[in-house]
Amino acid sequence: MHKIKVRVTQALIDKGIRNHCYCCPVALALMEIPWSELITGDPNRLKPSIQVLDGHFILELNSLEYKDAEISLPTSAEEFITKFDHSKLASRGPRPLTFEIGFNPETTKRQP
């Protein structure tokens, strides 16, 4: 199990706001993690993406060899997302945030 520090910076919050769809800064921060290297040891082997479906963050690995994985977020990250979503209507959004997630690369391996 790896502990991964995720940093939602002010730059990512601003980038999320600049997008017309209010792209989630937590998803942007998760995309900065070198998932391919973490899972396979090769930084170029996988081209992962993050999908947000009904409040669940899914790491899509787009591979026959590896399966997608759900990323569990701590309460602080969930609260950040709620504040960010509500800030669309308010003048002030959430502050930058750092949190840790646990990730086990073994859970992404497909069984033969």
In Å, how far are 47, 78, 87, 93, 106 from 110, measured between CA atoms? Answer: 17, 29, 40, 40, 9
Tell me the per-residue pLDDT of 10-39, one tens digit each, with 9 for 90 and over.
998 888 877 655 578 899 999 999 999 999
Per the CB < 8 A criterion, the answer to whether 36 and 46 are in contact is yes
- 7 forms beta bridges with 98
Domain ranges of the chain: 2-98
Q: How do residues 48-106 score in pLDDT, each as one tens digit?
A: 999 888 778 999 998 989 999 999 999 999 888 888 877 765 556 788 999 999 999 99
By C-alpha distance, which of 4, 7, 5, 3 is closest to 80?
Answer: 7
pLDDT score for 85: 78
Q: What's the token pair of residue 87?
A: 């800030």
Query: For the whole model, what pTM was predicted?
Result: 0.84
